[in-house]
């Protein structure tokens, strides 16, 4: 008696053939945008302009317009910086690691995830810049020898490792993303009727011909870059965590930070990819390619990384108790029961409790619930950064120095504004670049197209 393996659910729905895939993917770039795109873009643009206004106001008046004080010298700016860098993680992870593991379901989501990485890192880079106060003096941080006396950058500082790690991550991600786009730019170039788009896309496609040698090199370069990008996924956020872990502030100098920050970054990154994909499939009508199955796979990663983050939280609590260091114990007691207790419990609820709902298949496969829970996760991860930074600083060794941090409208405006700028960039990307990789979709049509699955039965 022989038993047959169950045929996997298709990744491409509907009676699609190769030509139909090309038509569907090129439609948002060549045709007119639908009403949903215009609504989303208008909202994002208004929010982005408000944020830009707040940034210009900060540069004009100095960072005294933020809610910072002597005790809490780092607050929303660094919280937002770490939050955005974390979100930028999933893109390279989805593209590079899943490419190396030959996971076919990544093919519908990798390009949007990579675009998200690039835009999120750009948002993150804004914060150290405006935190300087006098941004026109930014060149002082560069190692310009002897122009200002012997002012060389301190290579021992983890803040400098940050600069190198994040810029390397950004450049590798950018090259990886762009190389993947080249064959699709060539497709749009060949389909264009008008002179201007034809010229723009032919410039972008670097004279791609699509011959065998070009494809072989394309595959090789993709694998090499994936191999380079994979260690970066782990190095970038572990280096960001060193900004805290190398200090002597109770609640910060913990060795668990690097793995816990990496798990948290992948967790928040996947949640943001989920939010974006659920929007993109509606806004540019790609329901046949970004399917329930993709959303379910993403939710599985979210529940795994969410559980890792939960274990890290519990480990921190246990170690602070077990250490016998009263300052360390107080830092964690203050987080859970002090004046910022609401932020701590919001973080615990959003990051540890809500992702566990994905164990239920009905919730895991629901588009609406996935969207709501992905927003919960990103909110929780923002609170996590806020809790680590503000509650560790606002009460230090000398009670006379204790003070509360209250954000001003500028703090809030800049943060919400960066979300607006991010969505403006993402929605423009969805209209100008093909959101899905044509060659990859066509390569899996035979194995996971719905029509082909029916023929198997």
pLDDT score of 26: 67
91 inside domain: yes
- How far apart, in whole angstroms, are the C-alpha atoms of residue 49 and residue 162? 29
363 inside domain: yes
- How far apart, in whole angstroms, are the C-alpha atoms of residue 67 and residue 377? 26
423 inside domain: yes
Q: Domain span at residue 365?
A: 29-133+155-449
Sign of the Cα pseudo-torsion (18, 23, 29, 35, in order):
negative
Q: Are 186 and 180 in contact (CB under 8 A)?
A: no
- How far apart, in whole angstroms, are the C-alpha atoms of residue 138 and residue 129? 7
455 inside domain: no
pLDDT score of 154: 66
193 inside domain: yes
2 inside domain: no
Kindly state the tokens that stand for 54. Answer: 């707040």
Provide the residue-wise pLDDT of the chain in tens; the chain has 457 residues: 544 445 566 666 666 666 667 666 666 666 777 778 888 888 889 999 998 898 888 888 888 888 777 777 777 888 888 888 888 877 777 777 777 776 677 777 778 888 888 888 888 888 888 887 777 877 776 666 655 555 556 667 777 777 788 888 888 888 888 888 888 878 777 777 777 777 877 777 787 777 788 888 888 888 888 888 888 888 888 888 888 888 888 877 777 888 888 888 888 888 888 888 888 777 777 777 777 777 888 888 888 888 888 888 888 888 888 887 888 788 888 888 878 888 888 888 888 888 888 888 788 778 888 888 888 888 888 888 888 888 888 887 878 888 888 888 888 888 889 989 998 988 888 888 877 776 666 666 666 655 555 555 5
pLDDT score of 5: 45
21 inside domain: no
Helix H, strand E, coil C: the string for the chain is: CCCCCCCCCCCECCCCCHHHHHHHHHHHHHCCCCHHHHHHHHHHHHHHHHHHHHHHHHHHHCHHHCCCCCCCCCCHHHHHHHHHHHHCHHHHHHHHHHHHCCCHHHHHCHHHHHHHHHHHHHHHHHHHHHHCCCHHHHHHHCCCCCECECCCCCCCCHHHHHHHHHHHHHHHHHHHHHHHHHHHHHHHHHHCCCHHHHHHHHHHCCCCCCCHHHHHHHHHHHHHHHHHHHHHHHHHHHHHHHHHHCCCCCCCCCCCHHHHHHHHHHHHHHHHHHHHHHHHHHHCCCCCCCCHHHHHHHHHHHHHHHHHHHHHHHHHHHHHHHHCCHHHHHHHHHHHHCCCHHHHHHHHHHHHHHHHHHHCHHHHCCHHHHHHHHHHHHHHHHHHHHHHHHHHHCCCCCHHHCCCCCCCHHHHHHHHHHHHHHHHHHHHHHHHCCCCCHHHHHHHHHHHEHHHHHHHC
pLDDT score of 4: 44
Domains contained in the chain, number? 1
38 inside domain: yes
């Amino acid at each position: 008696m022989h038993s047959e393996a169950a045929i996997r659910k298709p990744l491409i729905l509907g009676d699609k053939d190769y030509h139909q895939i090309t038509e569907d993917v090129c439609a948002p770039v060549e045709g007119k945008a639908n009403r949903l795109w215009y609504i989303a873009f208008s909202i994002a643009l208004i929010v982005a302009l408000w944020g830009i206004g707040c940034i210009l106001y900060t540069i004009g008046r100095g960072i005294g317009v933020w809610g910072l004080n002597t005790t809490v010298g780092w607050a929303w700016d660094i919280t937002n910086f770490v939050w955005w860098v974390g979100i930028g993680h999933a893109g390279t992870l989805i593209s590079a690691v899943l490419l190396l593991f030959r996971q076919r379901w990544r093919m519908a989501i990798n390009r949007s995830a990579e675009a998200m990485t690039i835009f999120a890192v750009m948002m993150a880079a804004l914060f150290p810049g405006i935190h300087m106060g006098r941004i026109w003096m930014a060149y002082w941080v560069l190692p310009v020898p002897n122009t200002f006396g012997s002012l060389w950058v301190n290579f021992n500082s983890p803040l400098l490792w940050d600069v190198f790690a994040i810029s390397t991550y950004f450049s590798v991600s950018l090259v990886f993303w762009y190389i993947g786009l080249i064959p699709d730019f060539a497709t749009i170039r060949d389909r264009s009727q008008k002179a201007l788009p034809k010229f723009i896309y032919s410039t972008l496609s670097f004279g791609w011909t699509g011959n065998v040698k070009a494809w072989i090199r394309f595959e090789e370069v993709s694998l090499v870059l994936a191999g380079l990008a994979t260690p970066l996924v782990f190095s970038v956020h572990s280096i960001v965590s060193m900004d805290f872990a190398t200090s002597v502030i109770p609640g910060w100098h913990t060795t668990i930070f690097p793995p816990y920050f990496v798990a948290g970054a992948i967790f928040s990154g996947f949640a943001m990819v989920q939010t974006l994909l659920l929007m993109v499939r509606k806004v540019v009508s790609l329901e046949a390619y970004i399917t329930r199955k993709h959303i379910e796979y993403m939710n599985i990663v979210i529940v795994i990384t969410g559980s890792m983050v939960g274990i890290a939280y519990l480990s921190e609590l246990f170690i602070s108790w077990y250490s016998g260091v009263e300052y360390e114990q107080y830092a964690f007691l203050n987080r859970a029961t002090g004046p910022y207790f609401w932020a701590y419990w919001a973080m615990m609820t959003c990051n540890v409790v809500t992702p566990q709902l994905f164990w239920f298949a009905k919730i895991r496969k629901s588009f609406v619930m996935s969207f709501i829970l992905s927003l919960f996760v990103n909110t929780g991860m923002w609170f996590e950064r806020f809790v680590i930074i503000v509650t560790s600083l606002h009460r230090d060794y000398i009670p006379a120095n204790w003070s509360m941090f209250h954000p001003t409208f500028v703090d809030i405006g800049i943060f919400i504004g960066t979300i607006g700028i991010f969505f403006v960039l993402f929605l423009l990307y969805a209209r100008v670049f093909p959101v899905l990789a044509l060659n990859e979709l066509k390569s899996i049509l035979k194995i996971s197209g719905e029509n082909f699955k029916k023929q198997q039965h």
